[in-house]
Amino acid sequence: MNAARVFVLALLLGWVAPALALVAVPPLTGRVVDRTGTLSSGDVASLTQTLQDLQTRKGSQIAVLIVPTTEGEPIEQYALRVAEAWKIGRKKIDDGALLVIARNDRHLRIEVGYGLEGALTDATTKRIIDEVITPKFKSGDFAGGISAGVNRMIGVVNGEKLPAPEPAHWDGDNLFDQFNPFWIMFALAVSGILRGALGRLVGAGATGGVLAVVAWFLFGSLTLALAVGVLAFIFTMLFDLVPSGGSSGAGGGGSWSSGSSRSSDWSSSSSSGSSSGGFSGGGGSFGGGGASGSW
């Protein structure tokens, strides 16, 4: 009986220990995740823009990950774990691909989602690695190799018939970007005019209505339009962003100063929010398609 228990315990440890030793999957912080400092900020920005343009045009997602090492884990297994965690590509279309480079190990892999396996075949991805990426890696040009490889992958994806991308969805970062600073000044002007002409309460309601219509026209989302309208009404009523038409003297100046300060705070939060990238996988699935290489 004791021997059986020891055997079962050893078997469990044989399963659990390797899992605990696996390198953790990095968080998806953008289309390009460099955990090694290999790429300059300019390289990352350029690659990010290229990949963003692909998603806007085709709907497909490609991401790049550079790590120091996989700690002995095969690059194929590691890349698949990352792909499954990040879920690059659109849900049910599965048009995602992932380029993973383990720099210290001198290994790399292109992991391909189900929906792109007909275009980015194992043979095609192997050629991209051997003919485009690794020659530049061998000469120390990592940025050039990654850029050339990504561009070749995009060229293949461009020739694939895929469902058209959906219209861009609004998110919080986009709201801040769109309303800073021009739209904030527009909102202040509208609020000041309407409150001066209609009074505080009616003017605040009219301001909310006008901005809701503008938001609906710009973003095409009724939910967003209603949210903007309600927020505009609340800010106009409670925070006195602009002086009412009849106010003057110290009281009016104080209200304008308060509004400017709050607009500045909003602008600051906008910058910090948009700098995070706001990129996430679309729910794509992977099944191990792709190819690996070394240099």
Measured in whole angstroms, the distance separating CA 291 from the mean position of its chain's CA atoms is: 25
What are φ and ψ of residue 99, in 5° steps? -105, 115
The domain spans of the chain are 25-165, 172-274
Rounded to 10°, the helix 249-274/182-198 angle is 150
pLDDT-above-70 percentage for the chain: 63
Q: What is the pLDDT of residue 240?
A: 53
pLDDT at 30 over 80: yes
Identify the pLDDT of residue 163: 83
Lowest mean pLDDT of 55-59, 115-119, 170-174, name the range.
Answer: 170-174
55 versus 256: the higher-pLDDT residue is 55
Residue-level pLDDT at 187:
65
Q: For the packed helices 222-238 and 182-198, what is the interaxial angle rounded to 10 degrees?
A: 60
- Placement of tokens 């509004």 in the chain: 259
**pLDDT tens digits, 204-243:** 677 778 777 776 666 666 776 687 777 767 776 665 544 4
Q: Is the pLDDT of residue 162 over 90?
A: no
Single pTM value for the model = 0.60
- Tens of pLDDT, residues 41-92: 999 999 999 999 999 999 999 999 999 999 999 999 999 999 999 999 999 9
**pLDDT at res. 159:** 87
What is the fold of 25-165? Diaminopimelate Epimerase; Chain A, domain 1 (3.10.310)
